[in-house]
Amino acid sequence: MQLSHLNGWRAVEAVCRLGTIARAAEELGVTRPAVAAQLRALEDRLGCTLFARRPGGLEPTAELLAVAASLTEAMAALARVQDTLAGSEPGNRIAVSVTQTFAETWLPRHLPDLFSKIGPVDLSLNTTWEVVDLTRSNLHFAIRYMGEAGEGYEALPLFGSGVVPVCTPDFAARYGLSEAKIDLSGIPIVHIDVPTSDPDWADWARWGAEMGVALPQGLEAQPRYSLSGSGVRLAQSGVGLVLGGLSEVFAALKAGTLIMPFGKKSVFPSLYTHKLIWIRGRRLGAVQRGFRDWIADKAEADRRLMRQIFDP
């Protein structure tokens, strides 16, 4: 296969996996017009359309989606072959799959320290709620909220989570919320539809049942939000009482921008934990091992802080 055609397949795989030409161009280190030209050249050679051109961007055809996982696996395999034959370290690239919530609330607070500890790195974050198959991707790690990691994976526990009602100090004062009594009557409640596979995750109904708190009539009629990101911003906006994930809100609680109006007794822990996982036996270079050690240190420090904030 000619090199130009191989580059075309790289462009197709990147756009299909990342969703946009812009993100693909950034990952491949080329311009957006270059990626678009590679897509068209490959389509011309194959004699078929790989992407439907929509007003909102490119949409992979059903035929491309059917082979997308195999294409990504092939590109990852080529990268591994190249590293093996070159006898070199995997390089300074760190590719991680994370939920958007984790990318919004945890990573930004710590990333400056990462760069100061291990130097310049090519950090690629794949933010999605979908569970990415590491064996069919060119990702080094995934940070997941999960139970057991499963066969074939190494796992580094980071920290647990759960839920607790949070709001701004002004909101609590406005509605007279206090630790003396958990009473939700007359309180604006924010519903967040959380995309999680955790069978133990609590919504307001589950939380109320566990806490023995009667939910007010008409609760379901209050606003609902379907978020791919964190509810911290909603809570900090002051629009209502938010049932926030412990791992999302603890930094805001420490900073005082949010409070737990009902105190530690309102914390409902989850059985799942955040874990850093990677393929067992897959070769990691010094940069990837440095990232793993760095995140382990940061998670240990945050576990101590979470115990101070949430434990009775």
* C-beta of residue 192 within 8 angstroms of C-beta of residue 225: yes
Residues 6+ away with beta carbon under 8 Å from 239 = 188, 190, 223
Does 98 share its domain with 151?
yes
Does 230 share its domain with 181?
yes
- 């990101």: which residue's tokens? 229
Residues 6+ away with beta carbon under 8 Å from 101 = 229, 230, 245, 248
Q: What are phi and psi of 155, to 5 degrees?
A: -135, 135
The pTM assigned to this predicted structure is 0.68
Query: What percentage of the chain's residues is helix, strand, coil (to nearest 5)?
Result: 45, 20, 30
Does 39 share its domain with 130?
no
Task: Determine the number of helices (DSSP H) and then strands (DSSP E) in the chain.
Answer: 11, 10
Q: What is the pLDDT along the chain (312 residues), one digit of tens a residue?
A: 555 578 889 899 989 888 889 888 887 778 899 999 999 999 998 899 999 998 888 899 999 998 988 888 788 777 767 666 655 455 678 889 888 778 888 888 888 888 888 887 888 888 776 677 787 777 899 998 888 888 889 999 999 889 999 999 999 999 999 999 898 888 888 887 766 666 777 888 899 999 998 887 766 556 666 655 567 888 898 888 999 999 999 999 999 999 999 999 999 998 888 999 998 887 788 889 999 999 999 999 999 999 999 986
Which has the closest alpha carbon to 133: 229, 277, 12, 24? 277
Position 307 in a domain: no
The pair of structure tokens assigned to 263 is 């105190």
Domain extent for 124: 93-158+272-302
Does 168 share its domain with 257?
yes
Position 309 in a domain: no
Find the CATH number of the domain harbouring 31. Answer: 1.10.10.10
